[in-house]
Structure 1
C-alpha cells in the first residue's frame, strides 16, 4: 500500500541513509533506511591503475575514469577516478587511504549525503511516497503548504529570553527557567542560535531530545529553514548552524556536479594588476547617496526587483565567465572594465535564476492570499539572493571573483544613473539613492508613483516596483555633521502606518525604555498630514522625550526596561580585547549600564546601581533623530 510522508530529515546510517518521515494523516513518525550510492573522486597520474586497485580491493561497488573540467574557467579537462559505494564509512575510508598514498581528493563539497539526496531526487521538507521498500519523491509545487508541526522558536528580545510555541509566547529572566519551559513539552522542531543552544544544553542536557529536529543557525522562522532545505538539498541534520552563504554555495556545488566541474579548492581567480586610478573608478560598491537631512513631502520610493541577482542572470556573470582568455562570444559592457563570455551559462546565474522567479512568485502569492507561509518563503529566498551577490566577491567563493563582483556593481551604478536621469526628465527631484532604491520628491499619489516606476522600468529594461509612498519622509542628521545617513530614515506611509529604517528604536540592542520613548514620540509625528500639523506634532514629540527623561531621573522604571541585549562576534580569543562583559559572562549577553560600564544582569534589583546618564544620552540620540523643536 502506498502512503505519503513528509521527508523531515535525513541522517547517514551504517546501511545507507536513515530517512525520518512524518505522516500528516496519521500524525505518526517513521524511520526508514534507504540504500543509495555515494561517490568519491580522486585524481592520479595513473588513473587506470587506481581503478584497477580499487576494483581489486572489493571495498567499493564500482570504479571508472571520467573527463572533468577544471578551474578557473573550466575550458580544459582532467582524468578523474570516480568510484561508487553504498556505505558512507567505506567512502570515507577509501578517500583517506587514497590521500595518504598521494592521490588528490576532489569534489569534497557538497557533503556526500547532500549529493546522494540530489542524485536520488529526494528533497528535504517535501513529500515522498513509500511503498514497501521503495521511497519515491513526489512533485513539489511552491504553492504547497509546509508540514503541520509543533515548533518552538527561542531567542532574546528586550533583555528577556523568549520562547514561541504553538501560538503562545513565554518570557523568562534566566536560562534556567527557559530550559525548564522548553523541556516540559516534546516538540517536532526547535529553532534558536548556536550560542543560546549551548547555554540551554549546559543548563539542561535533555534539551537536545526535547525536539526531534534542531536548527541552530539563528532564530529564523521555521518556514525559512524549510525553504533553504528544499533549495539546497541540505537536510536539517546537516543544516545546524549553516550560514546562508553555505546554502547558495551548496546550490552552486550541485550545479557544478551536473556539469562535471572539478571542485578542488584551487578556484581562486587572481585579480590582475591595476593602477590606482582604475581601482578608484572601478573597485566600488553600489550607488549610495549622502542625503541632505530634513523633512520631505510626497515621496515615492521605487525599488528595482532583485537588481543584483537580475544583473547576474541577465549578463551571465559568474567567476568562470568573466575575463575568459579564450572565448568565442565576448560581451564588453561599456560601463564595466571587464568582459563576459557568453559561450556557456555561468554556474552562479543558473543557480539563482530559479530563486529570482520564486521570489516574485511568493510576493504575488502573498499579495493574493495573505498567507504568511508565502511571505516567509519570500524572505528565505531573498536572504539567499543577497548572499549570492556577496559571495560573488568573497575570496573563498567557489564560483566568484573580484572581477565578477565589479561587473555587477558597475552595472548597478550605470542603471541607477539612467533611472535618475529618467526621473529628472519628468520634472521630479531625486532626494536619495540607496543601492537599488530611488527616493523621488513631489510625487503626490500612489498612481503617480506607479507611473514613475513604469518609466524607470522602460528606460532601464529592469523590472521595478513601488516600495513605498510617503506622505512625508524624514532623514535625520548624522550624530556629528550636517549630512544624513544613507540607511537611516522614517516616514508616514500613504497606505497607513510608519516605515522605520536604521533609527534607534529598530536596533536590537536598544533598551526597552528608550525604544518605547521613541515609538511614543513617533506616534505623535504620525498624526501629522500637513506641514502645519507637523509643527505642532514635533513639539509634542519632544515633550514625550522630556517625560521619559524625568522618569529616568526619578528612578521610575522597571529593571527589564533598562536591559540591553548584545552579541559579540569577536569571541574571547579575538585579537581585539573583548569587552568586560564578554570575559565575565556567557552569550547571549543581557546587560545594563552600570557605573563601571556595561555589566551582565544577574537578576538583582538595579535600583541605585545604574548609570542613568548612559540612558539619558540614548534619549539625546533619539531627540537628534526627530525634527528639531524649532521646525517650521
Structure 2
C-alpha cells in the first residue's frame, strides 16, 4: 500500500477533500465522507430524549445519540448530552445557533470544534502518514516544496526550496507580480507580508507568520501533529489556542463536559489573603558588577513540571469531597489526587515528549522541541488567564507558591555546599565559588543533590568565563538589574539577556579584544540600543555575528 502524508483536508459541501503528498512529493486528492459531531446540552435535562426524537426527523442530520458525560466543576456527576452528526459542517453550525436561540439546547465542547473532531474520528489527521496511528517521537516528512515570499523595497522576493535540501531558487518580481508557475510547483507557501491571495494559493496551506511565535516549518509540523490543525491554521493560531485545542481533545476523550462560559472563577478575598497567596516567581536583587567563573543552573520546564508532578488542574484544586488530599510545600490551596487532572495529564505528556525529542539531537528535532517549549511556556500563564477555557486562579497561585519554595530550597542547599548565589530568577540560579573555576564533576554532584532536595530536574544552562550584571536604570538605586545580564561562555559565545537581538549567535573571534568587550558592556547604559551598538561595533569588539539560516 502506498504511503501518503496528509497535507490538509478541505470541507466542501457534503464531502471533504483530502490533499495527500507521497514519498516522491506527488500530490493526490481524495474525496472522503466525514461525519462531523456536535455536542448539545439540553437546557432541561428531562427533555433530552424528546429533543432527540425531534432532531432525528430534521433533514441533514445523519444520527442523534444520547451519551453520559461528566459535569463541571468537579466532574463527578454525570449528565446526558446529545451527539448530533452530519456531513455538512455549515448546517451543524447553524443548527447549534438555532437551538440555542430557541432556548432548547446549547452547544458544549465547542473546542476543538466539529471540524477537527470529525476529521480526527475519521483518521484524517494533518501532518500524519496514512499508516500512522499514534504520534511517534520519530517521524519523517515528505519532500515538501516550500515557496517563501517576502516584500523587500516594494518588490516581492520569492524563494523556492525543498525540505531537506540546501538548494534553492530565488528571484525578484514587481510589486504584485505573482509567478504562477512557481506557486503551482509548491506544496506550502510561507507568506511573511500577507501578499499572496487565497485564490492563487488554491489547496496549498499558506503560512502567515504573525500570531504564532513558531516560524520554522518543522516546529509548525510538530504543532500540527499535536493539535490536528493543518499548517495554515496552526500558523495563524496563538500558542494559547493550540494548547487549549490539545486540552479540549483530551476533555472529549474523557467525556468531560466543557461549557462555553468558563466556570469556577475567583471568589471574593480580602487584601491580606491576596498578598499571601497571589505572588509571582522569586527574583533576586543582585549586586551589579563583573563576576568570574559563573555557572547558570536552570530547572527543566519548572512550571509545567510542577503542574504535572502535583496534579494541578482546575478540577483538582480545593475539591470539596476528596479522599486523597495533597498540600505541596504548605500551599494555601489543597490538591485532590483521587483522579489525574486534565491539565496535569496533558502537560506531563508534553514535558516527556519534549525531553524525548531533545535526545534525538539533530537540527530538525531542535525546532520541534522549541515548538513544544512555547506551549509549555504558555501553559502556566493560561492557568491564570481569565478567558482560558481550562484556567483557574487557585491553580495558578499554587504553581507560583511551589516554584518559590523550590527555589528557596535550592538556594539554601547551594550555599550550604560552599557556593555563592550571585543571582536567581524564577527558575534559574547563577552561582560562583570565590571566582575560582568550577569543575563540571563537582557541579554534577551539586545538581544531583538539588534535584533530590527539590524533586525537580536541574541542568547546566551555561558556564560563563565572566558575567556582567549591569546597574538598574534608576539613578537613585545602587543595585543590579534583575532581568538583564551579559556573559561570555567558556566556548566563546556572547550571551545577551534583557535586550532583543536579531542574530542567532555572537562569537568572540579575537581573544585580544576581550578586555575591550568587557569595558564596552560594563559601561553601556541603554538596554534598547545595546544589540544595535554591538552590531555596529562588532569588528572593534572582536565579535563574529551569525544569523539563522
Instruction: Give the TM-score of the pair, scaled to structure 2.
Output: 0.85
Residues 166-214 of structure 1: CA deviation (Å, up to 9, x unaligned)? 3478999xx9757558767323222345xx21xx24xxx4784288211
Residue 616 of structure 1 and its aligned partner are, at CA, apart by: 12
Aligned to 1:99: 100
Aligned to 1:477: 471
Aligned to 2:462: 468
User: How far apart are the structure 1 equivalents of 2:126 and 2:336?
Assistant: 35
User: How far apart are the structure 1 equivalents of 2:158 and 2:294?
Assistant: 39
Aligned to 1:630: none
Distance 1:277 1:158, change over 3 A: farther
**Residue from 238, 250, 257 that aligns with 1:255:** 250
Residue 357 of structure 1 and its aligned partner are, at CA, apart by: 0.9
**Residue from 312, 317, 326 that aligns with 2:312:** 317
User: How far apart are the structure 2 equivalents of 1:10 and 1:617?
Assistant: 43
**Residue from 259, 263, 284 that aligns with 1:289:** 284
User: How far apart are the structure 2 equivalents of 1:622 and 1:474?
Assistant: 20
Residue 105 of structure 1 and its aligned partner are, at CA, apart by: 1.9
Residue 278 of structure 1 and its aligned partner are, at CA, apart by: 2.4
Aligned to 1:5: 4
1:246 to 2:231 alignment: no
Q: Give the match's secondary structure for 1:272.
A: coil
Q: Is the 8 A contact 1:179 1:207 kept in 2?
A: no
Aligned to 2:30: 32
Residues 8-31 of structure 1: CA deviation (Å, up to 9, x unaligned)? 111212233221100123x31011
User: How far apart are the structure 2 equivalents of 1:373 and 1:336?
Assistant: 40
User: For 1:11-22, what aligned pairs fall within 5 Å after superposition?
Assistant: 11-22=10-21
**Residue from 392, 396, 418 that aligns with 1:401:** 392
1:63 to 2:64 alignment: yes
Instruction: Give the TM-score of the pair, scaled to structure 1.
Output: 0.74
**Residue from 503, 511, 518 that aligns with 1:527:** 511
Aligned to 1:453: 447
User: How far apart are the structure 2 equivalents of 1:258 and 1:617?
Assistant: 48
Distance 1:68 1:299, change over 3 A: same
User: How far apart are the structure 1 equivalents of 2:73 and 2:533?
Assistant: 54
Residue 450 of structure 1 and its aligned partner are, at CA, apart by: 2.4
Q: Is the 8 A contact 2:383 2:392 kept in 1?
A: yes
Residue 220 of structure 1 and its aligned partner are, at CA, apart by: 0.5
Aligned to 1:82: 83
Aligned to 1:300: 295
User: For 1:35-434, what aligned pairs fall within 5 Å after superposition?
Assistant: 35-44=33-42, 45=44, 46-103=47-104, 104-129=106-131, 137-153=132-148, 165-166=160-161, 167=166, 177=174, 180=177, 185-186=182-183, 187-192=186-191, 196-197=193-194, 200-201=195-196, 205=197, 208-209=200-201, 212-218=204-210, 220-366=215-361, 371-434=362-425
Residue 500 of structure 1 and its aligned partner are, at CA, apart by: 2.1
Gaps of 5+ in 1: 130-136, 509-514, 546-613, 628-632
Q: Is the 8 A contact 2:219 2:370 kept in 1?
A: yes
Q: Give the match's secondary structure for 1:127.
A: coil
Residue 230 of structure 1 and its aligned partner are, at CA, apart by: 0.4
Gaps of 5+ in 2: 542-549
Q: Is the 8 A contact 2:156 2:174 kept in 1?
A: no
Distance 1:61 1:124, change over 3 A: same
Residue 164 of structure 1 and its aligned partner are, at CA, apart by: 5.8
Aligned to 2:547: none
List 4+ stretches of structure 1 deviating above 3 A: 137-140, 152-165, 167-172, 175-184, 205-208, 533-543, 614-623
User: How far apart are the structure 2 equivalents of 1:71 and 1:456?
Assistant: 39
Q: Give the match's secondary structure for 1:151.
A: strand
Q: Is the 8 A contact 2:296 2:429 kept in 1?
A: yes
Q: Is the 8 A contact 2:312 2:343 kept in 1?
A: yes
Residue 70 of structure 1 and its aligned partner are, at CA, apart by: 2.2
Q: Is the 8 A contact 1:16 1:88 kept in 2?
A: no
**Total equivalences in the alignment:** 518
Residues 108-142 of structure 1: CA deviation (Å, up to 9, x unaligned)? 2212121123323433111005xxxxxxx455532
Cα RMSD for the two superposed structures: 3.5
Q: Is the 8 A contact 1:445 1:469 kept in 2?
A: no
My pick for the range that moved more, 221-230 or 154-163, is 154-163
Residue 79 of structure 1 and its aligned partner are, at CA, apart by: 2.1
Q: Is the 8 A contact 2:3 2:129 kept in 1?
A: yes
User: How far apart are the structure 2 equivalents of 1:35 and 1:458?
Assistant: 54
Q: Give the match's secondary structure for 1:296.
A: strand
Q: Give the match's secondary structure for 1:365.
A: coil
Residue 452 of structure 1 and its aligned partner are, at CA, apart by: 2.4
Q: Give the match's secondary structure for 1:212.
A: coil
Q: Give the match's secondary structure for 1:467.
A: strand
Residues 383-430 of structure 1: CA deviation (Å, up to 9, x unaligned)? 111111111111111221110001111101000011111100111011
Q: Give the match's secondary structure for 2:372.
A: helix
User: How far apart are the structure 2 equivalents of 1:356 and 1:616?
Assistant: 34
Q: Is the 8 A contact 1:312 1:349 kept in 2?
A: yes
Q: Is the 8 A contact 1:472 1:491 kept in 2?
A: yes
Residue 619 of structure 1 and its aligned partner are, at CA, apart by: 5.3
Distance 1:162 1:282, change over 3 A: farther
Q: Is the 8 A contact 1:446 1:469 kept in 2?
A: no
